Amino acid sequence: MARMHFPGAAPTAADEAEAHAYEVEQYRKVLSRMDWRFEFSDDARFVREARDMLDWLRQHQPVADPDMSIWRSIAPEGFGIPQP
């Protein structure tokens, strides 16, 4: 049975856990779709989109993957979290 959530009500621990699980799932998806060779592309649009993905990953990594275990399991060796 689905939980009812009333607008304006404080989120419950279950709501927060569900939101975190969703963020981790999205983080995994973006990380697994990342083309790590984007800087070698001649397509400026592709490079811009890849940089946007990288920025998104950078922003979500501290919450979705604080120990970077997901990053290390998906990203090729040598691709740590790049600093802006």
Query: Is the Cβ–Cβ distance between 18 and 58 less than 8 Å?
Result: no
Average pLDDT over residues 1-24: 77
For position 47, what pLDDT does the model report? 95
Which residue has 């890849």 as its token pair? 50
For position 21, what pLDDT does the model report? 94
pTM: 0.76
Query: Is the Cβ–Cβ distance between 32 and 58 less than 8 Å?
Result: no
Whether 57 shows a pLDDT value over 80: the answer reads yes
Average pLDDT over residues 20-29: 95
User: In 10 A of CB 27, how many CB atoms?
Assistant: 20
C-alpha–C-alpha distance, residues 2 and 53, integer Å: 33
In angstroms, the first-to-last Cα distance of the chain is 44
Residue 5, both tokens: 């959530």
